[in-house]
Amino acid sequence: MAHSELLVIGATGVGLGLIASRENADAQVLLIDRGIIPGAEFVNALVPGDGWDAAPSSSFAKSVYDELIARNILSNGRIHLPAISPVLYERMKPLASRIRLSTEILGIAATASGYEMTISDAGGISKITAASIIDTTTARISRPGMTFASKAFNVLLDAPARDFSEIIGQHGTATVLPCRFDSERILSLPLAANDGFADARRKLAQFWKERDEALRPWSLAASAGAFAYTVTDKRTEIAPSWLHLPSAAYRNITLAIEAGENAK
C-alpha cells in the first residue's frame, strides 16, 4: 500500500502550492484530483477573481504571477482565464510523479498512525495511507455534505469584431466581470443552492434568450465546468491532521497558490 506523509486532495491553487513547496522536502506528498484541470476552482469555474494588482510574496506563487504577466495573460490587474491552465500544466510536469489526476476518493478511515483512503482510478480501487490529509476542494469531497451561502454559474463571452459596447456591471440578475482582453468578459448568473448543472444550463438558456440589448452583440463562448461558490472559511479542522483549506476561498489563483505554499 502506497504511503505518504501528506495527502493533498484537489489540484487546486492551494493544492499545487502545497506540493510545490514540498518539492525538495523529505516528506512524501501525494496529490489526487478527480478531474484533469489544474486550478479548476478558478479556471474551470471561470472565476477571474480580483486582487491581481499585488504579486503574491511566496516564491512559487510569485513566479507563476510573473509568468502570467510575461505571457500576456495578466495585465493591469485583469486576467485571461483560459490561458492559466497551460501554465499550470507546465508547472506540474516536474511534480508529475506525485500527482494522480482522474482519481476519485471513495472513503477515509482513521488508523493508529493517520488515515487509510480508498481511492479509484483507471486501474481500479485501491488503498493508500497518509499521516495527514489536506482537502483543498470547494465541495470538501473527503467529507461530503458541504453547504454554501451562494453559488453562481459563470460563462465566458466573446465580442464581435466591432460595434459593441462595454458591458461590465449588472444585467438583470447577472453580473458581467472584466477580463484581460476587451473582447472577453465573464457573465456570472446566480443560482439557487440546490441547482445542478442541468438547472444551471436551463436558467442560462432562458437568461440568454431574454438578455438586454447591450449583451446582444456578444456571443456565449463557453460555460463553466464547475460552479463558482462563495467560500468564507479558509481553514477548518475536520479531524486531527485532516484539514479543509478550500482554494476557492482566495481572491485569485496566485493568492491561493501562495496560501498553499505557506500552509503549515
Site for other proteins in 40-69 (CB under 8 A): 44
Q: Is 221 left (phi over 0), alpha (psi -120 to 50) or beta?
A: alpha
Q: What sign results for the dihedral spanned by CA atoms 15, 90, 82, 65? A: positive
Locate 172 and state its grid cell: 438583470
Q: Where are the beta strands (DSSP E) in the chain?
A: 2-9, 29-32, 74-75, 78-79, 99-100, 104-111, 114-121, 124-135, 151-158, 169-171, 174-178, 184-191, 219-223, 228-229, 236-239, 242-244
Q: Rounded to the nearest whole angstrom, what is the least distance from the CB of residue 57 to other proteins in the complex?
A: 25
Q: Which is nearer to other proteins, 122 or 149 (CB)?
A: 122
Query: What amino acid is encoded at 30 in this protein?
Result: L
Residues 233-262 that bind other proteins (CB under 8 A): none
Question: Which residue in 29, 92, 186, 245 binds other proteins (CB under 8 A)?
Answer: 92
Q: Does 38 bind other proteins (CB under 8 A)?
A: yes
Q: Does 140 bind other proteins (CB under 8 A)?
A: yes
Burial class (CB in 10 A: 0-12, 13-18, 19+), 103: buried
Radius of gyration, CA atoms only, the chain: 19
Nearer to other proteins, 93 or 264 (CB): 93
CB of 260 to other proteins, least distance (A): 18
Secondary structure class of 231 (helix, strand, coil): coil
Closest CA to 153 of 220, 214, 102, 244: 220
- How many residues in the chain? 264
The residues in 173-232 that bind other proteins, with binding defined as CB under 8 A, are 181-184, 196-198, 201-202, 204-205, 208-209, 216, 218-223, 225-226
CB-wise, 195 or 258, nearer to other proteins? 195
- The closest alpha carbon to 88, from 42, 54, 53, belongs to 42
Binding flag, residue 149, other proteins (CB under 8 A)? no
Which residues ranging from 105 to 124 are in contact with other proteins (CB under 8 A)? 105-107, 120-124
Q: Residue 237 or 264: which CB sits closer to other proteins?
A: 237
Does 158 help bind other proteins (rule: CB under 8 A)? Answer: yes
Between 137 and 252, CB nearer to other proteins? 137
Q: Least distance (Å) from other proteins to the CB of residue 83? A: 4
Cβ proximity to other proteins: between 144 and 149 the closer is 144
